[in-house]
Structure 1
Amino acid sequence: MTADDLKTQFRQQSQAALSLNTAYIGVVSGLFSTLHSLGTAPSTALAEAAKLDPGYVLRWCDAAYAFGYLDVDGEAFRLTPMGEAMRPEAPDTLMPMAVQSVLSAHMAERAAGLMRTGERPGEQVLAERETVLPWFGPMLEANFAPMFERTICPAVPAFADVDARGGLAVDLGCGNGWYLRALARRCGKLRGLGIDGFQENITQAQALAAQDGLGERLRFIHGDIHALALDEPADLIAMNRALHHVWEKDTATLFAWLRANLKPGGYVVIWEPAWPAERTALREPSRKALAFQNLSEHVQGNHFLRPDEIQAAFAQAGMPSQVHLFAQGNEAVVVAQR
């Protein structure tokens, strides 16, 4: 590859990043959704409907037009199919890609500044950009709820067993509550308790559960799982992409707590990105993003785990476990039963 070829390649990559940055502004400002409801509108009418500054909206419309999210007839803008797909409400929405692009840039900047000191500030870095945190839960939901409902839940026998028994399902690190909402829709006898360290997530989770008519079955509380006492033993304890956030603190104590807070025959279901056993696997296209995400996890005081590490922790706690792999082996669901 020549120098000119490399420049062309990186210009294309740079333009892709700028496109996602433009989309992010439209997502978090509600511009895609508002223009969808209007059908067509000049930028001034769009700004008025979205309750935004008309100068910023005009410049955004120009950028969104340049990157193919909008078409225009005279001064009236309308969404293209790509713009429609970026709406958070759209089926199989592309919104997570826009949110992840800005979150990744933020984490890259933080990692670059911490390289010399070795400081690992923790999960509060997610809250350093005021427009990002409210979209973190919706981003995870859009990315992973369809996989859970369509693929994981039918393939993991523990869910059918819990559905038949009913009882209490606890989600540690529940985010905006998407997992418990999905589980409650499938398992009509279950009650749910979600715990998260960000009050923003708990507020979202409560509102969304009420919106779905699940407010009486699902409860969400702000708290630290290291200082948590359940009112009753659980039939299912879940951790979805949350175990690596607490792994480096006291793994043995956590897994002992998980076992102690289960009913006999109850399940712990851990869903984690599957860190590969061999570094060479990171060159695979489906795993390249995982490598960068692990760097950003280091900023937060975490690191991704191999499935066998999770199994070893269950074994130490006296619980046999089984690994289920999904998404080309990139997602691991580890199930243990008391």
Structure 2
Amino acid sequence: MAVQPGRNDLKAQSWPMARSAQSLGLAYIGIVNGLFATLRRLDVAEANRLAEAAGMDPGYVRCWCDAAYAFGYLEAEGERFRLSEAGAAMDPQAPETLMPVAVQAMLNMHMAERAAELMRSGARPGEQVMAERATLLPWFGPMLEASFSAFFAETIGPGVPIFAEVDARGGLVVDLGCGNGWYLRALARRFPNLRGVGLDGFAENIAQAQRLAEKDGLGERLRFAPGDAHEFTLDGPADIIAMNRALHHVWEAGGAVFIRRLRDNLRPGGAAVIWEPDWPADRAALRAPARRGFAFQNLTEYVQGNHLLRAEEIAEAFAAEGMQPEIHRFGEGPEAVVVARRAS
């Protein structure tokens, strides 16, 4: 019989998790206030100089520097600080940046607090909870971009043939719920003939997306505008309507009606390209490392009025509306892309 851990053993195992949460909280403060990026530029600086250069309050920055030193993000030389290897990795511009880990951790804590409160009443306030913390929303798009853009460019883009088909005829891709526009920018870099339109319900996201497209020299091919994914309208039919991990945001409000709207806004032969985290049919699969976070994400989605979907149910919904779906799975299973073509 396996020996069960005693209460003291469980406590000993739990404290490091609490310290990890504190560590990621410190990293988040440094990311959103530009402290890691500023200290990388300065190389070495006293806390007051760092505060001045970052435009922050010196008292807060002094306390942050001490804490960041304690948790290994900074090295100290007397009263001067420089980034450690861990601190340099938290710079959003660092190769393989760890920024999304810290941002996701803070988003998780925000959503956990909201779930704890709302569980009493059963209220599901919707996606507006994403904008309840002033520092979180501007970093949501960069978090997704840093987490998924390389995977998309190296694996999904080459693995979904319709992108190349539409590129060959200079077609139009519409991205619903585009966030900061990273998905369209990744497509435009790989497929030079594609044109793109991104729609999003948050003005902050639209402004950020347009700014980044201009910065990348893609402003003539990509445009971004406010738009409600639930009731979007297009100037004309699209070759591809893409949703990047966003279909579950509109599903409970009427999945069949929404699928018909997608179909009716596509050219004959065009396709909906739906990238979703694939909810497993067997609960036991949630304990696999690659899927473990899905269960927590599903709870946070419930707060927003959503739930995660199985790739098969998405494909079945498209088939019921006369479209031809196929499922592509990536990332050893957890990531699914459903391509559903409208009849020619």
| TM-score, normalising length: structure 1 | 0.98
- Taking the aligned partners of 2:202 and 2:143, their CA distance within structure 1 comes to 16
Report the equivalent of 1:148: 152
- Taking the aligned partners of 2:15 and 2:102, their CA distance within structure 1 comes to 19
Report the equivalent of 2:210: 206
In percent, how many aligned pairs have the same letter? Answer: 65
Structure 2 unaligned runs (5+)?
Answer: none
Report how far residue 225 of structure 1 moved: 2.6
1:188 aligns with 2:192: yes
TM-superposition CA deviations, 1:287-338 (whole Å, max 9, x none)? 2211001000000000000001100111011111111111221111111112
Root mean square deviation, CA, Å: 0.9
Query: Matches of residues 51-130 of structure 1 in structure 2 within 5 Å?
Result: 51-130=55-134
- Taking the aligned partners of 2:294 and 2:251, their CA distance within structure 1 comes to 18
Q: Indicate which of 220, 223, 234 corresponds to 1:219.
A: 223
1:303 aligns with 2:312: no
- Taking the aligned partners of 2:212 and 2:74, their CA distance within structure 1 comes to 30
- Taking the aligned partners of 2:129 and 2:258, their CA distance within structure 1 comes to 24
Contact 2:39-2:82 within 8 A present in 1 as well: yes
Q: Indicate which of 263, 280, 283 corresponds to 2:284.
A: 280
SS in 1 for 2:157: helix
Q: Indicate which of 234, 237, 255 corresponds to 1:233.
A: 237
Report the equivalent of 1:134: 138
Amino acid at match of 1:237: I
Query: Matches of residues 36-55 of structure 1 in structure 2 within 5 Å?
Result: 36-55=40-59
Structure 1 unaligned runs (5+)?
Answer: none
| TM-score, normalising length: structure 2 | 0.97
Amino acid at match of 1:138: P
TM-superposition CA deviations, 1:158-180 (whole Å, max 9, x none)? 12212212211100000000000
TM-superposition CA deviations, 1:114-165 (whole Å, max 9, x none)? 1121100000000000010110110011111111001111111112212212
TM-superposition CA deviations, 1:246-283 (whole Å, max 9, x none)? 00011111111111111122121100011000111111
Report the equivalent of 1:327: 331
- Taking the aligned partners of 1:82 and 1:104, their CA distance within structure 2 comes to 22
TM-superposition CA deviations, 1:102-125 (whole Å, max 9, x none)? 111111111011112110000000
1:293 aligns with 2:317: no
Contact 2:166-2:172 within 8 A present in 1 as well: no
Report the equivalent of 2:257: 253
- Taking the aligned partners of 1:4 and 1:227, their CA distance within structure 2 comes to 54
